[in-house]
Chains A and B, each alone.
Chain A
Amino acid sequence: MKKLLLSMFAVSALSAGLFVSAAAQAAEVNVYSGREENLIKPLLDRFTAATGITVNLITAGADELTTRLELEGANSPADLLLTVDVGRLLRAKELGLLQSVDSDVLESQIPAQYRDSEGQWFGVSLRARVVVYDKDRVDPAQLSTYEDLVDPKWRGQICVRSSSNIYNQSMTAAMISHHGVEATEQWARGLVANFARDPQGGDRDQIAAVAIGQCQLAIVNTYYLAGMMNATNEEQREQASKVAVFWPNQADRGAHINISGVGLTAHAPNRTEAVQLLEYLVSDEAQTWYAETNNEFPVRPGVPVSAILQGWGQFKADELALEQLGTHNAESVRLMDRAGWR
């Protein structure tokens, strides 16, 4: 009995500390972030140091956070929704979870194709999906476009991750925007026919598979390769050194681009502070930080990038309005299901 009482006491003692939610502070802004803590917190800390505004953060999958935001409704404490792809921002907009921001800073700094026409979301960094190839075995002159990857000469030579991954979904959605559903499905079938193995692992795994010779080409986001080039692990650095980046479709529409972006929530309780943070994210300081720390491309043209990014050269980016990617996302998943892209 004593033990039972003791344990009950322990529960209540612990609970007392547990269940107090953070009390409202003077100036704060609340962020629901689809980007992991270690990739955003340092930047938010700089913002706090510069402005004195506290930033409260929850990180999780953007879909889960959108669901939470939707269910919490008008009482949600969230001010900003931050995601690492445009599709989720579009979905949040469709659900009526975001509101327009009217800011000269944002409109003048961010190219039009990387922000919502109604000002409900803004891109803050660019992520390019490219082809990497085995430097020893592939002559880059043989490479040209995403469309060309279905050529039988690449039979059994392409590595790419699962179609459950949002970057593949966005890439396929972009393809649908350019060529329509039917042609894209043909393309997906051709790509699957050229797979070296069942899709598995992440983008780093695809690069490693090229390095050891399981495939000659892989479709990956560039910052993963940069991460491997900078890794503490010697083996990863060595694998990264065996591959090179090829920018597809340079003669026509340009390489496929996605963004990480931010939207102001419809019921943001700290609107002023939230807009301040939004504008900070496209400042010189923040844009350079994205390029240096996360190896993503700044959304603002002309911001200097890291040596690794410079090493890959200038590239032409697809100018497709990113709104299109969200429109076609669900269709792209269905299409890949039909094509047998796991």
Chain B
Amino acid sequence: MGKHGSLLAVIVLCLLLSVPVLTVFSSVFNSSDGVWQHLVDTLLWSYIFQSLQLMLGVGFMVLVLGVAPAWLVTMTRFPGSRWLEWALVLPLAMPAYIIAYTYTGMLDVAGPVQGFIRDTFDLRFGDYWFPQIRSTGGAITMLSLVLYPYVYLLSRMAFLEQSVCVLEVSRTLGSSPWHAFTRVAVPLARPAIIAGLALVLMETLADYGTVQYFGISTFTAGIFRTWFGMGSATAAAQLSAVLMLFILVLVIAEQWSRNRARYHHTSTRYSHLPRLRLKSWKMAGALLYCLLPVLLGFLIPVLQLAWWAWDTHALVDFSAFSQLVFNSLRLAFTAALIALMLGMLITYAKRLQPGLPMRTATRVLGLGYAVPGTVIAVGVLIPFAWLDNSLDAWMRAQFGIATGLLLSGTLIAVVFAYIVRFLPVAMNTVEAGLGKIKPSMDDAGRSMGLGSWQILRRIHIPMLKGSLLTAALLVFVDVLKELPATLILRPFNFNTLAIRTYELANQERLTEAAASALMIVVAGIIPVIIISLSISASRPGHDKRT
């Protein structure tokens, strides 16, 4: 099999994985019985406006919460900075809908905080001002608090991989550390920051749990309202297709704006980082800045969950927990490994053959992350059921054997949906790392007689260790938190932690849901800490003493 043969194989693979997304797209050609006209007349523009508002808000906040702390913990030293280096990733383990439930429980009108205010000052509702948690601002805050780690992780990885020479040059040219950050480090880290931001924005668009709970009519909320309320699956799929087009425009705009800039480093001199020791108010400022996201995005909600879990421990069936944990972990582990391997394969194929076919294929694949899990699940159900039923009909006709449903309703369908939805996370992360390895490295390898596979194995993989591990663990944590696709596609009698949590929360039994919610967070923390530590260790020229 020559070069073209392998390329063809990868493109076929991409096509297979794109089937669910394309299935949703194909709905555009069906008629939707006037539902569209109704939407245009009433709510469509408000859906679009709300979604844009949410994306702008979350986009801005995750940049503020993610980039500067990444720079601070990488380039400076202050009390707690080593601890914060990994602690800043912790909110990643917190599903967005759970943090929303938790803060609502605390801060809503009927919650303990406002109750305390009323009791202490002897006020009634309406006598005092308190920010409304269930609002667009509230949703922006909740989503930002759990999504900023994507930006933090990817930009920190980029800062660590930056050659110190570039920064030293900027310093000798008279830049202050601040200028080195804004003028050199951030622009150089741009592909990584944007990759992180893209993940955040796609996740924001796909979010249903949080916005639905807060009563915000985003585009995704509109999709489900149309589907469930009006029984129009077609119009819902069409709305999803519009959502994907929207993402496509964003992705293309970003790539266009990057133009022909290249971001790999021309020097491979990596000395250990000359970390600046911060003093006095700068130290306090940095500490506070980096502590805030951890406190709000992790510590406070976890403490609240722990309190609720303690409060309701008598009601919780802990005997079933080991099975739930096991189910969640094995799904997450399987999906993470498969996503990593496919992500690497596809990204690498694109590096070797950056022509139109590969670019198009990866773009279509990349859309999966912005599509709500329920829609992806239907996109998986349709082709799987078709395949199963066609095979069954053929086997019956030919041999009189009924094969029934072979794939539908098995965990293969579930894992397939995970791959479709989370492969973009792996691809974006690997690509951000691969983009920084200059092509001359490949050339050098080739001149020494290495084949493509050997270049990947002996040059790229060792250099990309940090990115690869990050990719796998991000998918792992995402699967751990995933709910809708698992819920719909799973086999009989199969439960996960996320399902248990959701079902209780959905009955408005938040306090009883706390125990399993806490378990998701705990199961997610370990990989999250591994991600963070491995990134530090992945830096070329990493020195254990620093």
Contacts and interface: CB of A to CB of B under 8 A. Distances in A.
Contacts of B410: 19, 21
Interface in B410-445: 410-412, 415
A262 interface: no
Interface stretch (B57-65, B107-115, B294-302): B107-115
B405 interface: yes
A232 B508 contact: no
A49 interface: no
B119 to A, nearest CB: 11
A170 to B, nearest CB: 11
Interface stretch (A106-114, A185-193, A201-209, A301-309): A201-209
A39 B512 CA distance: 14
Interface stretch (A141-149, A310-318, A327-335): A327-335
B311 A56 contact: no
A63 B374 CA distance: 11
A19 B115 contact: no
Interface stretch (A65-73, A97-105, A278-286): A65-73
A67 B381 contact: yes
A201 B215 contact: yes
Given A56-B492, A342-B215, A68 B381 contact: yes
Given A71-B385, A200-B134, A212 B125 contact: yes
B385 A72 contact: yes
Contacts of B214: 200
A203 B503 contact: no
Given A60-B487, A213-B126, A30 B492 contact: yes
B334 A18 contact: yes
Most chain A Cβ neighbours within 10 Å, of B381, B382, B389, B409 = B409
B495 A235 contact: no
Given A7-B337, A14-B333, A67-B381, A337 B42 contact: yes
A201 B213 contact: yes
Contact of A201 (B134, B227, B493): B134
A333 B409 contact: no
A205 B389 contact: no
Nearest to B492: A56
Given A21-B491, A64-B377, A233-B311, A337 B213 contact: no
A36 interface: yes
A10 B337 contact: yes
Contacts of B314: 232
B540 to A, nearest CB: 20
Contact of A77 (B115, B377, B409): B409
A75 B389 contact: yes
A26 interface: no
Interface string A202-236: 11110011011110000000001001000111010
Interface string A45-80: 000000000001111110111011001111111000
Contacts of B532: none
A213 B508 CA distance: 20
Contact of B109 (A37, A59, A212): A212
Interface stretch (B83-91, B151-159, B193-201, B228-236): B228-236
Given A200-B215, A214-B109, A232 B511 contact: yes
A36 B505 CA distance: 11
B456 to A, nearest CB: 11
Given A11-B337, A232-B312, A232-B511, A68 B411 contact: no
Nearest to B378: A67
Interface string A158-187: 000110101001000000000000000000
Interface stretch (B176-184, B217-225, B280-288): B217-225
Contacts of A151: none
A85 to B, nearest CB: 11
Given A205-B110, A208-B110, A1 B457 contact: yes
A91 interface: yes
A212 B314 CA distance: 28
A177 B115 CA distance: 42
B316 to A, nearest CB: 10
Given A200-B214, A333-B230, A64 B374 contact: yes
B382 A71 contact: yes
Contacts of B225: 164, 333
B318 to A, nearest CB: 14
Interface in B166-199: none
Contact of B104 (A22, A64, A201): A201
A77 to B, nearest CB: 7
Interface string A15-54: 1011101100000001000001111000000000000000
A199 B213 CA distance: 10
Most chain A Cβ neighbours within 10 Å, of B230, B315, B378, B499 = B230
Contact of B488 (A1, A60, A164): A60
A37 B501 CA distance: 11
Contacts of B493: 22, 56-58
Contacts of A75: 388-389, 392, 404-405
A287 B228 CA distance: 29
B43 interface: yes
A253 interface: no
B338 interface: yes
A225 to B, nearest CB: 11
A198 interface: yes
B3 interface: no
Given A72-B405, A200-B134, A227-B508, A17 B330 contact: yes
A311 to B, nearest CB: 21
Contacts of A199: 215
Contacts of A333: 225, 229-230
A64 B486 CA distance: 12
A169 to B, nearest CB: 6
A36 B507 contact: yes
B509 interface: yes
Nearest to A201: B134
Interface of A: 1, 7-8, 10-11, 14-15, 17-19, 21-22, 30, 36-39, 56-61, 63-65, 67-68, 71-77, 91, 161-162, 164, 166, 169, 198-205, 208-209, 211-214, 224, 227, 231-233, 235, 239, 329-330, 333-334, 337-338, 342
Given A60-B487, A72-B405, 10 more contacts: A11-B334, A57-B492, A59-B503, A63-B228, A64-B484, A75-B392, A77-B404, A201-B134, A232-B311, A337-B43
8 contacts: A19-B411, A21-B491, A64-B488, A72-B405, A72-B408, A233-B511, A333-B225, A337-B42
- Listed from nearest, the 7 A-B pairs whose CB atoms lie closest are A208-B110, A56-B492, A200-B215, A333-B229, A36-B503, A71-B385, A204-B508
